[in-house]
Amino acid sequence: MRALAHLLGGLLLTVALELPVAAIFGFRRTDELVAVALASGVSYPMLSLASAFVPAGVDGYEHLLWIAGLEIAVVVAEWKLLVYALRGPNRALLTSCVMNAVSFSGGLVFFRPC
């Protein structure tokens, strides 16, 4: 139950941080904001699941490389979802990059590793 609460908390934080970023980049219509929220709703649980497969005992730069690889996969997935859902806005890749940088930073602040 605690894991589910952590997952939902992380998802809510992600959406709360990414929607304003998307609005700054011009995604302001309801359908656009719904697409952003759905892209986050799809990618966040997948990232959480994939991060469970980072090998035990990995730390330092190797851990950073694993996390960076997972985050890059999320950026690409969200970018492709936004392009598909919104019929190809040119700003989708940059928006996805900035959204994920902001939500990753927010996650570090709110869910600091022990």
The 10s digit of each residue's pLDDT in 15-68 is: 999 999 999 999 999 999 999 999 999 999 998 888 888 887 778 788 888 888
For the question of whether the overall pTM of this predicted structure is more than 0.75, the answer is yes
The 10s digit of each residue's pLDDT in 76-86 is: 999 999 998 88
Q: Which domain holds residue 16?
A: 2-110
Q: For 12-29, b where at least 16 C-beta lie within 10 A, e where not — what string?
A: ebbbebbbebbeebebee
Q: At residue 114, does pLDDT exceed 60?
A: no
How many domains is the chain built from? 1
State the pLDDT at residue 112: 66
Q: What is the DSSP string of 37-95?
A: HHHHHHHHHHHHHHHTTSPTT--HHHHHHHHHHHHHHHHHHHHHHHHHHHT--TTHHHH
